[in-house]
Amino acid sequence: MRSRYLNQLTTPYLFGAVTDQVERHPNPVNLGVGDVSLPLPSCIVEQLQEQAALFGTETGFKGYGPEHGLSSLREKIAKTFYPMLSADEIFISDGAKTDIGRLQFLFDPSITIALQNPTYPTYKEAAILSGKTSFIDLPTLPSNNFFPQDLPKADLYIICSPHNPTGHALTRAQLQHLIDTARQHKSFILFDAAYASFIQDPNLVKTPYELEGAEEVVIEINSFSKLIGFTGLRLSWTVVPKKLHFRDGQSVHRDWSRLVSTYYNGTSRLTQAAGHAALSQEGLQAIHQYMQIYRQQAQSLKQALSPYFDKIYGAEHAPYLWIAASPSYFERMGIITIKGEGFGSHGQGFVRLSALGSSYTIQEAIRRCSQFANLSLT
């Protein structure tokens, strides 16, 4: 018998529909799905080649790795991003999306989940597929500075910051309020920080663990995808602090370790070696350059579009622009965007543009917009 939950999924999946749209268009400019375009830095390519060559030798060949990830990479991630945590609180995986799905199995179907609206569609779909039925909206709108002050009681808050699709990064005060609320209710926060590397403002935090009490309530998901262009390689990590406990006192860390062992035989050793190279000194420099380039692209796009739209959000701490506009405005120019309601009902009246395309794509989008505006004036 087919799973009853499958009927509740939107068909097709949001990003699949956008990819189809790009393929059907004769001359598209793709600002739709947020896929990276810059090639991998040479230190990563060299590491991949070296490791692949070792696999072809009797002494260098290796089979299964530890299902929780190579301890050297777990240590490197802890040291680079989470000096307050230990390496065994970091779990390596093959993509944030994969873990967003698997993490649902930690929680009973009876729980109530609070979700930003609009938000990345996988959170709710993964919850539905694991039998969850009770959801609360957290309206995420310009009028509430993209975060509701009155947080409802929930068992699990699924939060993305910097936020996909609006680009808003939670302020320290907003994040602390969220953490305090979760502590008060003995709830958890699933915190997707996939865009944290775009944050430049020193007043903002890159990880909730910098704030008081976060280790008691936050599971963080993060990834090399947007950090350094691993959307094709696939490498991510999930942080599960040992201080996290369910209401009955059971350890979340122990349960997650156990659950991963059932579902996973570990991320490719080659990809993990590439992750190591990404966090070397040369890799970190490349990350810095990547971020500068994408931020610059987001800013150029925002600047070029600002004469035509009153309300453009984002582009500061994330590679997305969130514009109060109709998708048809862009469709007429062959510019592919994602309609706001694809991310939830409160996204209606908005479109999301990704600035992660190549510099040619961004320049061509800017050229078409200005050409179209000039034509409309004549």
**Which parts of this chain interact with ligand MLT (CB under 6 A)?**
15, 33-34, 97, 120, 164
Q: Give the nearest distance from C-beta 128 to ligand MLT in angstroms.
A: 17
Q: Give the nearest distance from C-beta 321 to ligand MLT in angstroms.
A: 13
Closest to ligand MLT by CB, 15 vs 105, is 15
Residue matched to tokens 């994040």? 175
Q: Give the nearest distance from C-beta 143 to ligand MLT in angstroms.
A: 23
Closest to ligand MLT by CB, 35 vs 216, is 35
Closest to ligand MLT by CB, 33 vs 286, is 33
Closest to ligand MLT by CB, 95 vs 275, is 95
Q: Give the nearest distance from C-beta 231 to ligand MLT in angstroms.
A: 7
Of all residues in the shown chain, the one whose CB is closest to ligand MLT is 34
Long-range CB pairs of 85-90 (<8 Å, 24+ gap) are: 85/209, 85/215, 85/239, 85/241, 86/242, 89/239, 89/240, 89/241, 89/242, 89/253, 90/237, 90/238, 90/239
Query: What is the residue-wise DSSP string for 31-92?
Result: -SS----SPPPHHHHHHHHHHHHHHTSTTT------TT--HHHHHHHHHHH-TTS-GGGEEE
Q: Give the nearest distance from C-beta 212 to ligand MLT in angstroms.
A: 30
Closest to ligand MLT by CB, 33 vs 217, is 33
Q: Give the nearest distance from C-beta 361 to ligand MLT in angstroms.
A: 14
Rounded to whole angstroms, the Cα distance separating 275 from 71 reads: 12
Closest to ligand MLT by CB, 34 vs 208, is 34
Buried b (16+ CB within 10 A) or exposed e, 330-369: bbebebbbbbbbbbbebbeebbbbbbbbeeebbbbbbebb
